[in-house]
Structure 1
Amino acid sequence: MAQQTEAAPRAPLSRDRVLHAAVALADGIGIEALSMRKLAQELGVVPMALYKHVANKEQLLDGMVEVVVGGIDPPAPGSDWQSAVRQRILSARQALLGHPWAAQVIRSRTGPTPAVLAYTDSVIGMFRTGGFSVDLTHHVMHALGSRMLGFTQELFDASPSPAAQTRAPAPAPAPAQDAGAYPYVMELAMAATHDGDSVVGQGCDDQFEFEFALDLLLDGFERLRQQGWTSGDRRRRS
């Protein structure tokens, strides 16, 4: 009689396994479709088993953010501040592009998770050790905003897709009858370099536009640092 093959033992449930399974499931079905019940089915457990590791769905989402942000590359050692910040932000963008729902979830949190706080602290540290004053660093962080994590909220972004949070906007082609009324919009729409692989379809090259704006900011920050800029001077001039 042939021996029956025993089933491989199931890996024990843990918080780490729950969170990574949730990230993978959200990647596959979308964040809106994710539920504790579906996650339990994916893991082959009853829903109540999940609550030993996450108290509720909000805590699950917080943990999923931790997983994604934890995948951002660490700062490159020995780099000047500008190269280090640029590499860190572009790595964050790459991490979020790999999980199109992540930007939406990060924006929905009432406060930063520990991983986001640690990431933010590291970026602030790059400016401070790069010679930036506390005052200038404060305003730099405001200027970067969500771009620090690799995504932006753009004007007139009507796309329902979470991936829209990681792109730059493309000028919308004006209808033919409006070309005379909006000549500069039409001129720009017709002249812009389009990228067929853009997340907005026939839109602009998302990565190029993101890096273009990021480099403008970083170059501007460096000029202010060299000038010894302070907010007090700016307020007095105003």
Structure 2
Amino acid sequence: MTDRPALSRQRIIDAASRVADDRGLAGVSMRNVGTELGVEAMSLYHHISGKDDLLDGLADWVFTGIELPDLDQPWRPAMVARATSSRSRLASHPWALGLIESRRNPGPALLHHHDTVLGCLRTNSFSVELAAHAFSAIDAYVYGFVLTELNLPMDAGEGADELVAEMSLPTDTYPHLAEMMTEQVLGKSYSYGDEFDFGLSLILDGLEEKLGDG
């Protein structure tokens, strides 16, 4: 008989992330996490107080996989790296976006994440107010972009050309939309994900301008 590693809060949270990946957030329960670990659900209560605590820990787990800047790193490449890492992390775990926005008890990884990002901006001459604006604007963009990516009406392996062809937009009714589709999408190997860097640059350009005004 193979001995299982001892239960710990971290092992339980890691198992909960696997359950969420397989079944979605609705599938995360003490029973299902216990099954994932090969133990009875009751044994989890020695480390987790209940489902709310489990979800709080799972929300905090999301932030452990997002790249953080060094405090003395130049702010713009630091924000690009963090935004790119955040997008990748959230896209890899589609359940995470709704979860992290709904929890009321931030954990140490989340708090460290926020403090470090603000610290990087502050050491790069951002005022407290501008750092708060920057954090909000960048995260709103990343979260919104990921939400759109996750909900695009395309099947696995289907390209944008197929979707546009299926829509069959009449050019006399929607001339500008049809023009954009023809010029930007059809035959161009278009991927919506390629828009991420352009949109992020617009936000960072605006922040850079504000920082210079200060």
Specify if TM > 0.5: yes
Q: Match of 1:190?
A: 182
Distance 1:84 1:177 in 2: 41
- Matched to 1:25, the amino acid is V
Give the TM-score normalised by the residue count of structure 2: 0.80
Call closer, same or farther: CA 1:186–1:213 in 2, change over 3 Å: same
Whether contact under 8 Å (1:193, 1:205) holds in the other structure is: no
Q: Deviations over 1:110-137 (max 9, x none)?
A: 3544322221221111111111112222
Where do 5+ consecutive residues of structure 1 fail to align? Answer: 1-6, 197-201, 229-238
Residue-pair matches, total:
204
Distance 1:54 1:22 in 2: 12
Q: Deviations over 1:140-177 (max 9, x none)?
A: 23322434xx421689x6x9xxx349xxxx8x859446
- Among the aligned pairs, what percent are the same residue? 36
Q: Deviations over 1:12-52 (max 9, x none)?
A: 11111100011122112222222221111111111111222
Give the aligned CA root-mean-square deviation in angstroms: 3.0
Q: Match of 2:62?
A: 68
| 1:181 to 2:173 alignment | yes
Distance 1:108 1:77 in 2: 28
Q: Match of 1:216?
A: 202
Q: Which has the larger radius of gyration?
A: 1
Give the TM-score normalised by the residue count of structure 1: 0.73
Structure 1 residue 76: Cα displacement: 4.6
Matches within 5 A, 1:42-81: 42-76=36-70, 79-81=73-75
Call closer, same or farther: CA 1:56–1:178 in 2, change over 3 Å: farther
Matches within 5 A, 1:93-172: 93-110=87-104, 112-147=106-141, 150-152=142-144, 163-164=150-151
- Matched to 2:212, the amino acid is Q
Whether contact under 8 Å (1:194, 1:204) holds in the other structure is: no
Whether contact under 8 Å (1:195, 1:204) holds in the other structure is: no
Where do 5+ consecutive residues of structure 2 fail to align? Answer: 153-159
What secondary structure sits across from 1:108 in the alignment? coil
| 1:8 to 2:2 alignment | yes
Structure 1 residue 74: Cα displacement: 3.2
Q: Deviations over 1:28-87 (max 9, x none)?
A: 222222222111111111111122222222221111122221122232575311111211
What secondary structure sits across from 1:152 in the alignment? helix
Structure with higher RCO (Cα < 8 A, 6+ apart): 2
Task: From the two aligned structures, give the one with the greater helix fraction.
Answer: 2
